[in-house]
Amino acid sequence: MIKEIIMSGLFGATSTTDEVLAGVDLKGKRVLVTGVSAGLGVETARVLAAHGAQVVGTARDLAKARAATEVVRAGEANGGSLDIVELDLASLASVRACADALIADGRPFDVVIANAGVMAAPFGRTADGFETQFGTNHLGHFVLVNRIASLVKSGGRVVIVASSAHRMAPFSLDDLNFESKTYEPWAAYAQSKTANILFAVELDRRLEKRGIRATALHPGGIQTELDRHVGAGAIEGMMAEINAALAAEGKPPFQRKTIPQGAATSVWAGFVAPADAVGGRYCENCHVSEVTDAEISPISEGVRSYALDPATAKALWAKSEDMVGERF
C-alpha cells in the first residue's frame, strides 16, 4: 500500500493546492496553521478557508498577518473563516500563552499544520537562550503541539513542514545550541529540519493509539520571505551547485515552485493522503518519499534514514523535554 502511494503519480511536484483539494469539502473542519503572515502559511489558510474550513492562523506580527491574509477573506463566502492569534515561536512564554488560550477556548482541531519557521539565520538566541533556528523551528512547535494535543480529534493529523535541507548535515544531539562547535547557518537549519522530522516520527508513535497521525514534509524550493537571511549572490551560487549536481544525475535544471505548488504537499498530507500511508513518514511532491542515504543533489527526492530513526526520535523527544523543562 505504501509503495502504491509513493508511486501513484496522481499528484506531483507541479500540483497546486487547488488541484489537490479539488472536490474536497472541508466544511465543519477546524485547522490550526502556524505562520500565516506570508508565503506558504497564507496560501494554506486561503485554500482551506476556500473549501469551507475554519482556520486558526498564528503570527508573531498580527498587523502584518491581517494585511497578508486579506486574500483569505474570500473563502468566507463558502463558509470558511480565518481567526488570527498571536504566537512567537522564539519565546516559550508566548508559546505557552497561545496554547493556554486555545485550551481555554476548548474547540477541537481536525488538523494542525506546523508551518512557521526561519531559515539560515545569523547566529542568535531565542528569548529562552536556544539557538534561533532550533529553538524556533523545533522547540517552539514541540511545546505548542504537545500542549494542545488534547484538542486534536481522534482521526486527526499533525503535519510538520520540514525540508530536504535535513540532508545537508548529519544530525547529533550534542551541542544543539552551538555552544562549542562553530556556528554555520545552513548546518543549524539542517539540524532544525531533521528535528522536525524526528518529532513527527515520535509524535506519530505516541498519538497513533488515539487515531491521530503525524507526518513531516518538504514543500519544495519556493521563493518566499524564508529567504530573507540569504543574499541574492548566495542563492545564485547554490542554484549553480544544484544544477551541476542535477546535470551529473542526468536531470534537467532546477525550477522553483510557485507558492500554491509549495503548499500543496501540506494540504495533501493533511486531508487527501491515506492517514496510515503518511503517519510517521516524510513526504514531498504530494507523495511519500523513499529512504535513501545515497549521495544525491540537494533538490532530488529522498529522506535520510537518520531522520526517521525511532531511537533517535525518542532521544530527541527526551532531550527536548529537558531543554524546555516540561514532560509530555
Known catalytic residues are 183
Q: What is the DSSP string of 152-195?
A: EEEEEEEEEE--GGGGGS---STTTT-SSSPP-HHHHHHHHHHH
Q: What is the DSSP string of 203-232?
A: HHHHHGGGT-EEEEEE--SB-SGGGGGS-H
In which element (H, E) is residue 113 found? strand 109-114
22: left (phi over 0), alpha (psi -120 to 50) or beta: beta
Q: Lay out the sheet containing 81-86: strands in order across.
A: 81-86, 54-59, 30-34, 109-114, 152-161, 213-218, 282-284, 287-288
Strand, helix or coil for residue 260: helix
The strand pair at 54-59 and 30-34 is best described as parallel
* Helices vs strands, H then E, count in the chain: 13, 8
Q: Map grid coordinates 474536497 to a residue.
A: 24
All cell numbers assigned to 211: 487515531
Q: Single out the residue of 113, 233, 217, 241 nearest to residue 166, CA to CA.
A: 217
Facing residues of 81 across strands?
A: 54
Facing residues of 32 across strands?
A: 56, 112
All cell numbers assigned to 179: 555552544
Distance CA(22)–CA(15), nearest Å, equals 11
